[in-house]
């Protein structure tokens, strides 16, 4: 049974994230969507809120589960005996950072391979930061986030204004 981990901040989940999750779910027996802490990013949504939104959005994918870690992704992959780390790429600018991270993860856990899934043309420009900015300024984010998560995202961002 091949297990993949798809780590990210998911702050909040976007249609681009969901595209990668669906594609990974078609490739692997088990996919763990991992809300990973990132010291370089201050989260807008709490880790629990992100997990709840992801669970809501992935509920129809039977081989997908959601978890969180404050530690290293490579260590998490060792804990659950994952075979693969899935990373989505939007543009070449993502690749340099993700490639460096893949090399570090391989050093920390040689058993887990990293694979890169390029975003489709409809979501390659999309980021969680862009979603938050558009929403905070009163724009319609309905085309950018899963419908199940939309009301929760709007409510949270609107409350912070």
Given 30, 50, 123, 128, which residue is catalytic?
A: 128
Residues 6+ apart with CB under 8 A from 110: none
Nearest to 86 by CA among 98, 71, 97: 98
Catalytic annotation present for 120? no
Distances (CA, A) of 72 to 19, 45, 129, 138, 158: 24, 20, 23, 36, 32
Given 17, 30, 87, 132, which residue is catalytic?
A: 17
Catalytic annotation present for 90? yes
Catalytic annotation present for 128? yes
Given 90, 106, 127, 156, which residue is catalytic?
A: 90
Do 127 and 91 form a contact (C-beta atoms < 8 A)? no
Given 41, 75, 111, 160, which residue is catalytic?
A: 41
Catalytic annotation present for 41? yes
Residues assigned a catalytic role: 17, 41, 90, 128
């Amino acid at each position: 049974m091949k297990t993949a981990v798809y780590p990210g901040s998911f702050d909040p989940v976007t249609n681009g994230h969901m595209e990668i999750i669906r594609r990974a779910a078609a490739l692997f027996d088990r996919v763990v969507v991992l809300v990973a802490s990132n010291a370089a990013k201050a989260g807008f949504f709490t880790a629990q809120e992100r997990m709840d939104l992801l669970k809501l959005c992935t509920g129809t994918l039977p081989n997908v589960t959601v978890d969180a870690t404050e530690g290293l992704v490579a260590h998490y992959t060792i804990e659950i005996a994952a075979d693969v780390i899935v990373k989505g790429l939007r543009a070449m600018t993502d690749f340099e950072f993700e490639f460096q991270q893949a090399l570090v993860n391989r050093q920390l856990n040689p058993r887990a391979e990293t694979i890169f899934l390029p975003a489709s043309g409809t979501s390659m420009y999309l980021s969680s930061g862009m979603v938050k900015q558009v929403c905070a300024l009163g724009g319609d984010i309905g085309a950018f986030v899963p419908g199940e998560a939309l009301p929760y995202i709007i409510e949270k961002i609107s409350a912070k204004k």
